[in-house]
């Protein structure tokens, strides 16, 4: 098994970038848009907000387009609200599970050959840590983006969720389509080499 430790600085930078983008978006939505503009409450600066224990705002929504709202909802479960509960032990279990999965992803990142898969894993790690940070501070994950059509609402989500979904989608698509073509190209090259010898 080959290890690629030189990926660590790039992984840390990319995962940190995703984490910071997610947290900046959450700070702006909670402190500036919902607290300051909607409720008229003084907002905290980004670093003060990032490092403090958070208070959860109640549900709110702002209609922007006929199919898109900005909302303030708290997801106490995992994706799409599964395993949601009100006790703090549920949040701690989800935090521990997320950190274990992140550790597995770090190991995978250090051993996977394809650089594009390493990038996708880094993006997933950044998103996962963004949601872990929410759970540690609020006991739930802040979600804002609400797409809807004819009364049907896609579950609200955030930047971290987008990063996780895009990273996972790339890995799945790569496994289904790209890795097969990579293997065919590799086999063709090996056949060419053997026929030339």
Rounded distance, CA 56 to CA 58, Å? Answer: 6
Per the annotation, the verdict on 182 as an active-site residue is no
Which distant-in-sequence residues (6+ apart) come within 8 Å of 120 by Cβ?
A: 166, 167, 168, 170, 171, 174
Query: In 3D, which of 99, 106, 168 has the Cα closest to residue 129?
Result: 99
Catalytic residue (choose from 22, 134, 143, 146): 143
Rounded distance, CA 45 to CA 118, Å? Answer: 34
At 85 the three-state DSSP class reads: coil
Catalytic residue (choose from 86, 161, 182, 187): 161
Per the annotation, the verdict on 143 as an active-site residue is yes
Encoding tokens for residue 99?
């950190």
Rounded distance, CA 118 to CA 114, Å? Answer: 7
Rounded distance, CA 107 to CA 105, Å? Answer: 5
Active-site residues, by number, are 143, 161
């Amino acid at each position: 098994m080959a290890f690629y430790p030189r990926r660590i600085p790039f992984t840390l930078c990319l995962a940190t970038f995703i984490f910071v983008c997610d947290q900046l978006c959450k700070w702006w939505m909670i402190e500036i848009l919902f607290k300051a503009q909607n409720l008229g409450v003084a907002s905290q600066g980004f670093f003060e907000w990032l490092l403090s224990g958070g208070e959860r705002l109640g549900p709110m929504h702002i209609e922007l387009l006929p199919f898109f709202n900005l909302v303030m909802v708290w997801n106490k479960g995992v994706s799409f609200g599964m395993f949601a509960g009100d006790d703090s032990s549920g949040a701690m279990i989800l935090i521990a599970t997320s950190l274990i999965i992140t550790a597995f992803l770090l190991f995978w990142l250090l051993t996977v050959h394809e650089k594009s898969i390493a990038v996708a894993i880094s993006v997933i790690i950044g998103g996962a840590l963004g949601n872990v940070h929410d759970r540690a501070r609020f006991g739930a994950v802040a979600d804002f983006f609400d797409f809807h059509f004819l009364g049907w609402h896609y579950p609200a989500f955030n930047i971290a969720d987008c990063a996780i979904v895009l990273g996972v989608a790339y890995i799945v698509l790569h496994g289904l389509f790209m890795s097969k073509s990579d293997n065919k190209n590799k086999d063709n090259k090996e056949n060419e080499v053997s026929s030339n010898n």
